[in-house]
Structure 1
Amino acid sequence: MQKILTALVLGVASLAALAQTPAPGAAAGDAGTVKFAVNGMVCAFCAQGIEKRLTKLNETGPLYINLAQKVVAVQPKAGMQLDVAKVKAEIVEAGYEVTATQPVPQTVAAIRAEMKAK
């Protein structure tokens, strides 16, 4: 019984350590799809300006911008990671305020479908 308990405790400790270990190739500040809450976007020209800046980044894949919800969702290209600080800086330099940043497990397509359903 003692051996089983010890093995269980070691297994839980190993899983906890594994959960805190970054994925291979991931650096601090990197994430998968990220949703940004952005103030100041009021028209299609605003969305176009943000889209133009973000598509110039090498790691940026699909984008979704929702003016009504004040959301910009960015997904990295396949096999790449987003530098969240870099993306946020691009939005700020375009003249908008980023009020929140949230890594999410969904793809941009799933976020688009979710937003349309609201």
Structure 2
Amino acid sequence: MKKILTALVLGAAALAATAQTPAPGAPTADAGTVKFAVNGMVCAFCAQGIEKRLTKMSETGPLYINLAKKVVAVQPKPGMSIDVAKVKAEIVEAGYEVTSTQAVPQTVAAIRAEMKGK
């Protein structure tokens, strides 16, 4: 158990270090929304915690969080792009696991409408 905890702490520290200093060519979503698959979100409080962290970021615009589908969608503000590693780090630091990311051409509103239809 102690080894697992140590590995988690070291992994989180490494992630935080890379998030603070993005490498040249770090992934960004230049013109679209980024969807994150997130494990560990189970209640409205979970969604609220993620939303609070992401809305504080200067480049994030509209957000959509779907607990049932375990999706967080982030759209950049006009003229800006999403730093995928930075957003992922915020979600991880909030206590959740990001299992995948996907840049999509849809707006958050379109994703919300699509998810409601399913």
Measure how far apart 1:30 and its partner are: 1.0
Alignment match of 1:28 (pick from 9, 26, 31): 26
Q: Which runs of 4+ in 1 moved over 3 A?
A: none
> What amino acid is the match of 2:92?
V
1:79-94 equivalences in 2 (<5 Å): 79-94=79-94
What is the TM-score of this pair, normalised by structure 2? 0.76
Q: Provide the aligned length of Structure 1 versus Structure 2.
A: 92
- Maintained 8 Å contact 2:65/2:72: yes
Q: Secondary structure, in 3 states, of the residue corresponding to 2:50?
A: helix
> What amino acid is the match of 2:56?
K
Name the residue aligned to 2:66: 66
| Deviations 1:78-111 (CA, angstroms, capped at 9, x unpaired) | 0000000000000000000000000000000000
Name the residue aligned to 1:8: none
Seq. identity, %: 87
CA distance in 1, matches of 2:101, 2:81: 15
Q: Does 1:49 align with 2:45?
A: no
Structure 1 gaps, min length 5: 1-26
| Deviations 1:26-49 (CA, angstroms, capped at 9, x unpaired) | x53110210000000000000000
Structure 2 gaps, min length 5: 1-24
- Maintained 8 Å contact 2:26/2:85: no
CA distance in 2, matches of 1:97, 1:73: 15
Name the residue aligned to 1:114: 114
> What amino acid is the match of 1:102?
Q
Compare CA radii of gyration and give the structure with the larger one: 1
Q: CA RMSD in A?
A: 0.8
CA distance in 2, matches of 1:110, 1:71: 14
What is the TM-score of this pair, normalised by structure 1? 0.76
> What amino acid is the match of 1:43?
C
